[in-house]
Structure formats: structure tokens, C-alpha cells
Structure 1
Amino acid sequence: MASVFLLLGSNLGNREQFLTDAIGRIESEIAPVLQASSVYQTQSWGNEGQPDYLNQVVLIKVELPPADLLAKLLHIENDLGRERREKWGSRVIDLDILFYGDKIIDQPGLHIPHPRLHLRRFTLEPLAEIAPDFIHPTQKKSVLQLKNDLNDVLIVKKL
């Protein structure tokens, strides 16, 4: 079984409910959530000027291959009303695989570890809350070290 860290995000509609609904669907369709970070309110990254996000990181353990896990997460996003209109656009729900154990995967449509997680405060703050000592398999630093080395100045606040 692989330990998998997922990032959940929402910046449209009832953001809290979308996070709750996503966790419920993950637990019923994929695996129990073993740990969950606090919810963080974060400024939008990459396409500033959008509504603030709520973000949360959860830990699950799965036997599913990474591509199958991604397919299930995309299905949950679609069922919850996710529309893909523009890169880094607003969304009711976003489910990203941050880490799948210590696997390194670089395939079309599937990149693990998430290729920009080490640059984003909105990812590293909640991740560091539940996995500060986890070593990034390509950066070779702990999550806490990556968070402490960040240059990202966007506001991320624990709710």
C-alpha cells in the first residue's frame, strides 16, 4: 500500500461543502482518509484576482496504480461540477496527487510528485501540518525544509 497525499482546493460556491463532499467521495470510492490538515484560506496562485481558495491536504493509503487513482479523482471532480475552462481558473473542486509514496512519475497527464508543490505555500502549509518530515523524492528535502525555503509570498491562513 502506498501513502498518498492529496491536495483539495475550492474557490467557488460553498467551498467548505465542496471540500467535505470531496472527502466523503474519496472515502467511499477510494480509501479512508487517515489524516487531514486544517483548512487554509489562500490567495489564488498563478491567476491572481480570483476568489480566495480553501485548501486542505489529506493522507490516504491505496493499492490502486497511480493512473487509476487519478482517473477516480477526475471522476469525483467531474461529479462535483468541476469545469475546465482555463489554466489555473476558478473551480468548485480541485483534487491533486502531491505524493504517491516515493514514486517519481512523468507521463502525459500524470506527474508525481506534483511538479510545482515545492513552490507553493498553499500546498506546503497544510502538507507540513500533517507530514513535516516527509522527504520529497526529487528535491531531497523534507516538506518542512521546502516550506521554510519558500519565496512564495501569497497569504495562506489557517482557519
Structure 2
Amino acid sequence: MNVPVAHDVYIALGSNMGDRAGYLEAARKKIAESGIRLTAVSGIYETAPVGYTEQPAFLNQVCRACTALEPQSLLETLQRIETALARRRIVHWGPRTIDLDLLLYDDLHMQTETLTLPHPRMFERAFVLVPLRDVWPAAEIAGKPPAEWIASCADKNGVRPYAPPSKK
């Protein structure tokens, strides 16, 4: 009997359109419905946009998960979830209902036309590294703990815990 191999993966979630927290929640639900088992979920952080800055603030989060999917199949699953949640790729780094990035897949290093692992820009982005530290505090990525990577990020002061608006 073949037992599927469980791979340890980290997925970044981001949203800056509409009900941002609702989109993060819907994405987590769809990830779980896709047979990807969430094992840890970070806090939610509000962050200023990076790259294209003329857009609303983002909510960001990182999930640790286990999956039997191979990297390319996992990426395709995440892209289908983005499409199901009305993701439109109109402006590079522009506003989006949901953005799902595969950050890490076991200890795999790979580069194809559609997927690079580890995610090539994660080491420059505090909005990814701060929530990653929540779900993997003892991490050492490319020889450094997340705190060292965060200290060198240009956006390190723009990441703050998200406080949902109070309901009246």
C-alpha cells in the first residue's frame, strides 16, 4: 500500500481589496478543502503596499501546512483558489482580492519557468517574514533566523498587528 508523503509547506496570504480579512478566511477555508492540511496560522498583519504604492494597505498572514501535492500541483491549486476568489492580474503588484504565494516546500530549492523555491523575494519582505516567524519561530532560512532577515528589510517598520474594526 502506497502512503502519500506529507510535505511541509509555508504559504503567504495577502489581500487589500474589499473585505480583506474575509478574503484571508475564505482562502484558508479553500486551502483546507483542497486537501492541504493547515497545521499553523499566523496572526494577521496590516502592511503598507510595496512596489506599486498607490493602493490600499494589505492584510498579510502565513500558514504552515502539510500536503501530498508536488510543488507545481500545489502552485496550480493555489492559483485556482485565487481565481475562485476573484483575483485579477491587471497591474503588476497591484490591488488584489487575494494573493497566495508558496514560500517554502520542505527544504527544496528549485527554479522553473513558473515556480522558484524558496520564494525569491521573501527575504526582502517583512510583511512575509513577520508572520512566518509566528508559525515557525525556530526557523533558520538560508542560514539566518527570520529576525535577521527582518532587520534588513526596507518595510520592517510598516508591519503591524491587525486590529479589526470594532462592531457597533
Query: What band does the TM-score fall into relative to the shorter chain?
Result: over 0.9
- CA distance in 1: counterparts of 2:32 and 2:49, whole angstroms: 27
Q: Deviations over 1:79-107 (max 9, x none)?
A: 11000012101100000001101101111
- CA distance in 1: counterparts of 2:144 and 2:56, whole angstroms: 32
Corresponding position of 1:134: 139
- CA distance in 1: counterparts of 2:117 and 2:106, whole angstroms: 9
Corresponding position of 2:77: 72
Question: Which 5+ residue runs of structure 1 have no aligned equivalent?
Answer: none
Q: Check 1:41–1:68 CA distance in 2 against 1; reply closer, same or farther (3 A cut).
A: same
Corresponding position of 2:95: 90
Question: Which 5+ residue runs of structure 2 have no aligned equivalent?
Answer: 1-5, 163-168
- CA distance in 1: counterparts of 2:97 and 2:112, whole angstroms: 26
1:12 to 17, 22, 43: 17
| Structure with greater Cα Rg | 2
2:152 to 127, 149, 155: 149
Shift, 1:145, TM fit:
2.5
Q: Deviations over 1:52-91 (max 9, x none)?
A: 0000000101111000000000000001100001210110
Q: Deviations over 1:113-154 (max 9, x none)?
A: 110101011011111112122222xx3212232123334345
TM-score normalised to structure 2 length = 0.89
Corresponding position of 1:59: 64
User: Is contact 2:37-2:67 (8 Å) kept?
Assistant: no
Q: Check 1:77–1:26 CA distance in 2 against 1; reply closer, same or farther (3 A cut).
A: same
Corresponding position of 1:48: 53
SS of the residue corresponding to residue 99 of structure 1 reads strand
In the comparison of the two structures, how many residue pairs are matched? 157
After TM superposition, the structure 1 = structure 2 runs for residues 93-104 of structure 1, keeping only pairs within 5 Å, are 93-104=98-109
- CA distance in 1: counterparts of 2:105 and 2:35, whole angstroms: 14
SS of the residue corresponding to residue 60 of structure 2 reads strand
After TM superposition, the structure 1 = structure 2 runs for residues 18-37 of structure 1, keeping only pairs within 5 Å, are 18-37=23-42
User: Is contact 2:87-2:96 (8 Å) kept?
Assistant: yes
- CA distance in 1: counterparts of 2:85 and 2:12, whole angstroms: 16
Corresponding position of 2:165: none
- CA distance in 2: counterparts of 1:150 and 1:84, whole angstroms: 26
